[in-house]
Structure 1
């Protein structure tokens, strides 16, 4: 996907604002899959949450949100946090976490911030929250939020496994030998791609020693982050490799081919297997 198309898709998403608009956007861009549009929407949503995170975590904002929640409980309201999140244009799961942290600070930690690990565990298992009304509200926030928070993480994890399985099946079908992350970790590697090929292959004239599967769209922010945190580490350890962004990527980001990292949006139809005796 060219950058200009990506920017136009983002413009329409900002205009429509909801995920329900994706089928309408798909009509304007029939060459772009709904999976790609969904990934672009989620990435943009998460970027917006990161940019505004500090505003909602200010002491004034936290006190205001918690007061609004407790007043709502006193008045017998339902879905207080979801309603408030819509008013604030804020992730329901993030708002739920903010209110949960404030509740724990007030009730268990004598005004101090609760440990992040405890908060994360309660967000994953809201039934463990001591206040049943708050537990119900938090559970509602998690279920309502498929872009941010525990449900979003579970969805991404599940889809990631699905496409790793797809990659492994393709390699098995083609008779390309490889080892996976678990085997590499057993050998002592701390940074591991999804698969390391036992014998390199060639794709469009480029040698591929490893393959990383990304069940997402490759935008500028995510790709730069992956390069820094993952891909160059793989390159240092294993040589040149290939990244598959299954939901597409911005074409202009594929700038490291000559340095040893190529991008694709599917497993290539034509690969050249090297003679194992030449390894």
Structure 2
């Protein structure tokens, strides 16, 4: 399955994505783009959903909009509609299930002066729906959390678990290659604040480029994602430790390295198999250095 794709393919995928309803989009896209991995499609869908929610969430969750949604929900329950009321409403209005459920909970626990309940209470109820005092709302919220791959405590826990899984995978692959390194916890003990996932104790060469550190990203790297990481993380690693490598395990758009000059940060979708320890002084690498 392809994980590194052209900008044209990516734009075509987004065009198709924007025409689909919120749920079950990955299944449909996998038929339209059979050469792309399911993991890559899941990441692209999730990232695009989050961008859309940033633009529309405020408009969809005004007090008037929430009041209208709440009345529809209450009426649907009173009329004995089958479970999944909030899921169907989510599909209709374009708000993700978890965000819709959160808005309905906030309205359900609204105080007499119409002020919202505390964020801690709402977060607690979202994490444990059994604590919700209304049976129907508890079940409806539970269904929303199960169906939402982008928002809510289940989705967040899943993302954190996958991210940690790939960090461990990176460490194991480096150990298998007998490359010594310090990981994030080691660096924080040494007093570093912003730290990459891996700091190599002995630099390696990859395609003629020196690598001092590696950052693991269990997601798909598009231009917006990569620019954000360059600004918030990667350039600070380069300033402190020199050139490095970021791995987008679920793929990336070709030519992302054009976002920065001189290949100071390499991009790959897996740990390179052609790494050469600098201390070994391979002839081809150092010959190139001397002749350059």
Which structure 1 segments of 5+ residues have no match? none
Q: Is contact 1:26–1:34 with CA below 8 Å preserved after alignment?
A: no
Alignment of 1:72-221 (within 5 A): 72-77=76-81, 78-106=83-111, 110-221=113-224
Asked if 1:41 corresponds to 2:45, the answer is yes
- 1:204-230 deviation per Cα after TM superposition (whole angstroms, max 9, x unaligned): 122111111111110122112211221
Q: Is contact 1:213–1:244 with CA below 8 Å preserved after alignment?
A: yes
Asked if 1:258 corresponds to 2:262, the answer is yes
Distance 2:90 2:26 in 1: 16
Change (3 A) 1:181 1:117: farther
Distance 1:227 1:128 in 2: 41
Distance 2:250 2:261 in 1: 20
Distance 1:116 1:190 in 2: 29
Task: Look up the match of 1:54.
Answer: 58
Task: Look up the match of 1:24.
Answer: 31
Distance 2:139 2:86 in 1: 10
Distance 2:206 2:27 in 1: 38
- 1:124-150 deviation per Cα after TM superposition (whole angstroms, max 9, x unaligned): 222222333221111111011123222
Distance 1:114 1:195 in 2: 42
Change (3 A) 1:237 1:126: farther
RMSD of aligned Cα (Å)? 2.0
Q: Is contact 2:57–2:95 with CA below 8 Å preserved after alignment?
A: no
Change (3 A) 1:114 1:260: farther
Normalised by the length of structure 1, the TM-score is 0.90
- 1:45-74 deviation per Cα after TM superposition (whole angstroms, max 9, x unaligned): 222222111111111101111111222232
Distance 1:161 1:65 in 2: 37
Which structure 2 segments of 5+ residues have no match? 282-292
Normalised by the length of structure 2, the TM-score is 0.86
Q: Which 10-residue stretch deviates more, 263-272 or 39-48?
A: 39-48
Change (3 A) 1:217 1:103: same
Question: Size of the alignment, in residue pairs?
Answer: 272
What SS is found at the alignment partner of 2:120?
helix
Q: CA deviation at 1:13?
A: 2.3
